[in-house]
Chain A
Amino acid sequence: MDGNLNALTTVFTEFYYWVTVVFMFLIHVGFCMYEVGASRRRNHMHTLMKNVMVIPLVTVTFFFFGWWIYWAFPMFPFFGGLDLEAGAANLPWAETMGPNAADRITGVFWAAFLLFSWTAASIVSGAVIERIRSSALWVHAVLIGSVCWIIDAAWGWHYGGWMVKYLGYHDAYASGVIHGIAGGYALGVIAVLGPRIGKFAADGTPRDIPPHNPWMLTIGIFLIYTGFWGFYAACNIPAISPDGIGGEITGTTWTATNIYLAPTSLSGITFNFLMSLSGGLLAAYVVSKGDAFWTFSGGLAGVITASAGNDLYHPVQAMLIAAVGVVIVYNLHFWVERKFKLDDAVGAVAVHGYAGVIGLVIAGFVLWGVPSSPYEGYASINPLGQTLGAVIMFFGLGFLPAFIVAKMQKAAGVLRIPEEVELEGLDYAEHHAYEDAKQAIIEADKEYLSKKLTATE
């Protein structure tokens, strides 16, 4: 870190990613609140614990192998071998994976990616509430958080990934690489897991299972919006010189870039984040006839739909793309629910999965012919590459592994909780000490009260 400018840039970049990580923590807080608000009272503690423990499990596994996958897998296995050289500095026993005066970026960069991993796992967690075994969900959390999503990031969210190079895949703020894959993964699990008791009437008509606390949902989703700001910033490189990029950009003007090292600006993505959020909210309010749950979720779905191209869209384009995506997502959710009898407890498959897929396809048309990379020899953005990318994310790395592993868990009898426990509530089953203590103190208070009343009488 010699030279003042170099030192300033390094420290700024280090601090920049650190701040994004802190902001992104709010996404997980939001997911926890949302899930607990959506669950019924008898399942609160279990629902919360299920999502909280995603944090340590994904963190340690992302340290052990997830981060290495990102650097080693960009061309593997279809267009080359493992990039062991790039991977070496990111192995869990590498000297750069700890306090090291010669390296000031690996830890914060690792953490920024890790927070995306939590998000991917947490999206799945919401869809399966009130009937999955924690042990089963936590296996899925590790699988999507530290394996599947990071493989897709190496392929399609890395400046040297094969999907970027050969398909012209463009997904600046992770419509597909986080939301598409997580939605597809959630679909794979709930297809095997089955609906909650009572979700469908005998004739197959779906019943609404309303959230026990709509306010908690509201605060939860607003925290997710807030964390999403940090997510957007974390997807950028804040300042880099053309020399630092080493591609085709000429001159000496520094720029912010997206993850592919292609130019964008924090200003531009701020316009687009807010305009796509607004487009999503406006469309969702109309299409859901003012339903609070869907209006708020629609804001999120709007941002997710526009995210693939939000580094380059005009703000009005971002708003309209978000609105179109939300209308499709809303109708698709109810059609799939009726047709396939799937119980997606928080609408995760729709809000994340369908919105991500639609966003990728739309970006292929709106950004058709735009260079996907600042490096020579890369395919430009195109509808076919984006559509193939969407299929890889949603089905190949999302739905398929989830479906297979969930089938194995079901065959072994370790996927779903017993029916009796589902009715009684998981809080009593797994947190009976809390429930017993609560009951005991209520009884004690009643007894004390009855004595007092007797005395005054």
Chain B
Amino acid sequence: MSTIGYESWAVDMAEVGPIYPFQGWEIPLVVIGVLFWIGWHRIQFVREHKHLEQAKQRALDHERIEQSVERY
């Protein structure tokens, strides 16, 4: 048993095609990949929104803002 379909390299390379594991499962793999990508955007979006809202409240401290502005 071999996940790439070859158990030995005693082959004619002219006859060899794909050599990655689990051939035939490409479409489900891509679906998982797309969900990972979309999910990342969702997590980042929610987290950034929360951070900015918190920062906005904190930034009402004028002294801190003045220090930041001075820090060119």
Question: Interface of A with B (CB < 8 Å)?
Answer: 1-2, 40-42, 57, 60-61, 63-64, 92-95, 98-102, 133-135, 138-139, 212, 414, 417-418, 420-421, 423-425, 428-430, 432
Contact = CB atoms under 8 A, between A and B. Distances in A.
Among B13, B27, B49, B52, residue most surrounded by chain A Cβ atoms (within 10 Å): B52
A134 B48 contact: yes
B45 A135 contact: yes
Nearest to B17: A102
Interface in B12-31: 13-14, 16-20, 23, 26-27, 29-30
B44 to A, nearest CB: 6
Given A424-B65, A430-B52, 10 more contacts: A41-B72, A93-B30, A99-B18, A101-B13, A102-B18, A138-B41, A420-B65, A421-B55, A423-B68, A430-B48
Interface string B24-57: 0011011001100100010011001101100110
A425 B26 contact: no
Contact of B44 (A40, A99, A134, A425): A134
B10 interface: no
A418 B49 CA distance: 10
Among B29, B49, B64, B68, residue most surrounded by chain A Cβ atoms (within 10 Å): B68
B70 to A, nearest CB: 10
Contacts of A139: 41
5 contacts: A64-B30, A92-B26, A93-B26, A100-B20, A423-B68
A149 to B, nearest CB: 19
Contacts, number: 99
A420 B72 contact: no
Nearest to A421: B55
Interface of B: 13-14, 16-20, 23, 26-27, 29-30, 33-34, 37, 41, 44-45, 48-49, 51-52, 55-56, 58-60, 64-65, 68-69, 71-72
Main DSSP-derived SS at the B contact region: helix
A64 B30 CA distance: 7
A99 B19 contact: yes
Contact of B69 (A98, A414, A423): A423
A99 B4 CA distance: 11
Contacts of A99: 18-20
Nearest to A60: B37
A126 to B, nearest CB: 19
Contacts of A41: 71-72
Contacts of A61: 37
Contacts of B51: 429-430
A95 B58 CA distance: 53
B19 A428 contact: no
A133 B45 CA distance: 9
Contacts of A212: 72
A64 B33 contact: yes
Among A95, A138, A424, residue most surrounded by chain B Cβ atoms (within 10 Å): A424
Nearest to B29: A93
A2 B16 CA distance: 13
A64 B44 contact: no
Contact of B68 (A92, A102, A425): A425
